[in-house]
Chains A and B, each alone.
Chain A
Amino acid sequence: MALNPMHQFSIKPLVTEPLFAISGHPIYFTNQALLMVIVVLATSLFLVLAVKPNRLVPTRGQSMAEMSYEFVANMIHSATGEDGLKFFPFVFTLFMFVLCCNFFGMVPGSFTVTSQIAVTLALACLVMLVVILTGFAKHGIRFFMLFVPKAPIYILPLLIVIEVISFCSRPISLSVRLFANMLAGHTLLAVFAGFVVSLGAAGGVLSVLSIAPMALIVGIMLLELLVAFLQAYVFAILTCIYLNEALHLHDHH
């Protein structure tokens, strides 16, 4: 089958002429940009409109908005304690953006924004920037104590090197985790869809057998919905954990 499972991740400009140019590089309005605009508009409109009437007995929409608020608030409170709650807008925005990008990507024929390493790496770098700025604002130069765990003096040199490496690899692991999960899931779906097409075209008994990969796709789709939520959750909770370290260094809250 000539169908390429990676074809779904290609970025195409929707308007032929570029919007503007940065030092000679033309910037186009692509299908990825369109999906991002849709996600941001949909989530903001939903969250604003759902709680606008502010009913005492919530409707389904208001319940959903309140549940997502409570969910993230509980997550921040359990991971960073009381003073982490001032980062609620940041973490909530990240969580809702990643969650909705993942879910909009599950719609057949649409585009998964989070399957682009550029997007996830930009998000992860933003998180690390906030963590580092928070740490320096709160502790000043003592922030470097983050790299010095409580340990006997003779293994400290080794531990400090390990801590520095683990801190520096965080943006990479944070971004590649989300990107690879989305990429792998959608590639798997496309590969199985290719099986359905090639079996169906084979004719005879093989055409009837194409039911099997079709049924499997439904199952994988459910698994992917779980993964879509789980990865948004993991992204948000790891942000909370990193913020907690920047706020409290190694002492427990």
Chain B
Amino acid sequence: MDVQAAKMIGAGIACIALVGAGIGIGNVFGSYLSGALRNPGAAATQTTNLLLGFALCEATGLFGLVVALIILFS
């Protein structure tokens, strides 16, 4: 197998990190919704934590994407 093909496969494998990000983001919003529907009064106070959790989760998936880009373009 030549190096170029191995690079392509490696970049594809690195994108599997998005699986974890998907599960994490689903968890964040799912837990927020189930909590917010049980206690709608407290929902508004937790939007900061919701957005923070969403951004932190999304970032872990994007780290995988950065690894893929580094493999492809360097």
Contacts and interface: CB of A to CB of B under 8 A. Distances in A.
Contacts of B73: 6
Given A6-B73, A183-B69, A234-B55, A176 B48 contact: no
Interface in B15-74: 48, 51-52, 54-56, 58-59, 62-63, 65-66, 69, 73
A233 B73 CA distance: 30
A7 to B, nearest CB: 12
A87 B59 CA distance: 26
A210 B51 CA distance: 34
A180 B51 contact: no
A237 interface: yes
Contacts of B59: 173, 176-177, 180-181
Contacts of A177: 55-56, 59, 62
Interface residues of B, number: 14
Contacts of B58: 181
Max chain A C-beta neighbours (<10 A), residue from B51, B54, B59? B59
Contacts of B51: 230, 233-234
A177 B62 CA distance: 7
Mostly, the B contact residues are helix
Contact of A184 (B48, B56, B62): B62
Contact of B65 (A180, A234, A237): A180
A177 to B, nearest CB: 4
Contacts, number: 37
A152 to B, nearest CB: 28
Mostly, the A contact residues are helix
B10 to A, nearest CB: 18
A59 interface: no
Contacts of B69: 183
A237 B62 contact: no
Interface string A223-238: 0000000110110010
A234 B52 contact: yes
A8 interface: no
Contacts of B56: 177, 234
Contact of A237 (B48, B54, B66): B48
Nearest to A74: B48
Interface of A: 6, 78, 173, 176-177, 179-181, 183-184, 230-231, 233-234, 237
Interface of B: 48, 51-52, 54-56, 58-59, 62-63, 65-66, 69, 73
10 contacts: A6-B73, A176-B59, A176-B66, A177-B56, A180-B63, A180-B66, A183-B69, A230-B54, A234-B56, A237-B52
